[in-house]
Chains A and B, each alone.
Chain A
Amino acid sequence: MSRGKIAIIGIGEVPTRIMPERTRWDILYDICIQAVRDSGLDKNDIEGVIAVSPQAQPRLTSEISFGKIPEELGLKGCRDSVVCNAGGASTSNCLRMAEQWIESGIAKAVLIPHVTVHSDIPLPEVVNFFARAGVDLQWEYPFGSTYNIIMGLMANRYMHQSGCTPEEMASVVTALRSWSSRDPNSLFYGKEVPSVEKVLGSDLLNTPLHKRESNVLADGGAAMVVVSAKDAKKMKKPAAYKLGESVRYFSACPMLRRHEEVGAAFQDTAKEAMAEAGISKDDIDLWNIYLAYPLAHPMMAEALGVAPPGQGAKYFAEGRMSFGGDIAWSTIGDAPGRGHTGSGVSAACYVETARQLMGKAGERQVKDCKYVYQNTSGGSGFNIIASIWGREL
């Protein structure tokens, strides 16, 4: 049970860009210092570091697995350091581990950082990493599968069942980018929001996925400071309190995931997390969805009951999930809007959840934001973790 045990009290982030000139440690310094300063704590108050595992960066993973972050930052009060890896679900697990460390007395304040620099990794390594990650090396990879192909398989089935059109599916990109064009931390900040015609006019990668419905790999980093909910309350600063969580495991192998079971689990975990938080669907002010690909968003909207069955894509086409629409949805634009930073997209999503609840989201601020639904998934979707966050206990 997660209700009311921890809170995020500090956040730090660098804008997601393609910036090979910045080293990973350069970014780590900035995000960690920002997050600690934002929390109001002293650096030596940080008693634990639980880092989100950086994907496709084995050297950095080794360095931070073996405890380099507290040493580099001079965190004199640090009692332990660890890296946590569950792909895109890593950040959720860092938060769970922070909860355990805080509850058990290992640490009063925990720093959760993530950094990824894709742009200096040789292209063949990145291509090979993303081709092999999240698929089975015996039963899927030899057929020529990729992440894009896994998404195409799912999207074609969804379109077959729902009858939604390519135009409606493409409108998800328009919606997500309408948020990210207003997000200073997005790769697409200040950039033109692509129209449906422009999305469908981009190269067809694999049916029904167009280039603009895929992701741009980028560099970025984000960090959070977490303390007990009780301590956060005492500090009387804006905070994001974890109020509920629920999870289901599906399978590591995409072909073994039964689509109907995945949809049911999206629904069930949301209900369970909301029940733990003591709220209902109507109380949610922001659906901060992390799915990595736009084509999965309509399915999620339906599973969560935000849109009626078969109407998910239509809701996006009507602009309801866009900036200015009546449903606040993925206010950083998920990975397609933010720029894909590997497992860091989930870190960026949690930081946004905290930012919205703290009332620091600027132009994208959801009015009177009290409750946020935040999900993550790892790999190519081996699980679903649903959580509810609130601005008060």
Chain B
Amino acid sequence: MEFEMTKPVPEVQPWSRKFWEGTREGKLLIQYCRDCKAKIFYPRKVCPECWSDNLDWMEASGKAKIFTFTTAYGMVEPRFMDELPYTIAYVDLDEGIRMMTRIVECEPEEIRIGMEVEVVFYDREDFKLPYFRPVKK
């Protein structure tokens, strides 16, 4: 019985490459529609609001608030066991986007719904995943 122990990387689509290129440069990019002005997350081939392909990217401030979170202590895939405990959250970016992320650089007990956090990029193979850490007051 062999478990896959390699950490998974994002399964990238042609239209999301730019997002991951951005994270490698320390930028959190948000796709937006030049026609209907919708901010789009996750990135799509066409705007999900108006089906325009006139899409572009803007850099997000990287500031967000925690909408909800959960700290894992067990029963995760074996490939993530070495990282326990870890906290997964949905965060609301100042730009109105909600994304899944990890909350890092703090003790799990300190994490609260509504907490202000900021983006920080963590290596995963040749990717940089956007994690968030509490904003230092």
Contact = CB atoms under 8 A, between A and B. Distances in A.
Contacts of A155: 70
A136 interface: yes
Contact of B70 (A123, A124, A203, A206): A206
A138 B12 contact: yes
B27 interface: no
Contact of B73 (A127, A137, A205, A214): A205
Centre residue among B72, B73, B99 by max chain A CB count within 10 A: B72
B1 to A, nearest CB: 6
Contacts of B78: 124, 127
A124 B42 contact: no
Contact of A206 (B2, B68, B72): B72
Contacts of B100: 139-140, 143, 145, 254-255
A141 B71 CA distance: 15
B3 A156 contact: no
A153 interface: yes
B29 interface: no
A190 B100 CA distance: 41
B88 A156 contact: no
Contacts of B106: none
Interface residues of A, number: 39
Interface string A144-166: 11101100111111001000000
Contacts of B8: 137, 141-142
Interface string B110-128: 0001000000000010010
Given A153-B88, A206-B71, A255-B90, A144 B16 contact: no
Contacts of B16: 138
Nearest to B74: A205
A56 to B, nearest CB: 15
A156 B127 CA distance: 30
B102 interface: yes
A139 B88 contact: no
Contact of B42 (A139, A157, A205): A139
Contacts of A142: 7-10, 124, 127, 129
A327 interface: no
Nearest to B72: A206
Interface in A193-230: 203-209, 211, 214
A128 B7 CA distance: 12
A141 B76 CA distance: 11
A1 interface: no
B1 A154 contact: no
B4 interface: yes
A157 B112 CA distance: 10
B76 A144 contact: yes
B57 interface: no
B88 A204 contact: no
A123 B72 CA distance: 20
B28 to A, nearest CB: 13
Given A205-B75, A255-B98, A152 B13 contact: no
Contacts of B71: 206-207
B83 interface: yes
A58 interface: no
A145 B88 contact: yes
6 contacts: A144-B80, A153-B89, A153-B90, A157-B113, A203-B74, A206-B75
Interface of A: 122-124, 127-128, 131, 136-146, 148-149, 152-157, 160, 203-209, 211, 214, 253-256
Given A144-B83, A214-B75, 19 more contacts: A124-B2, A131-B77, A138-B13, A138-B42, A142-B10, A143-B129, A144-B80, A144-B88, A152-B88, A153-B68, A153-B89, A154-B68, A156-B113, A160-B113, A205-B74, A206-B72, A206-B75, A255-B99, A256-B98
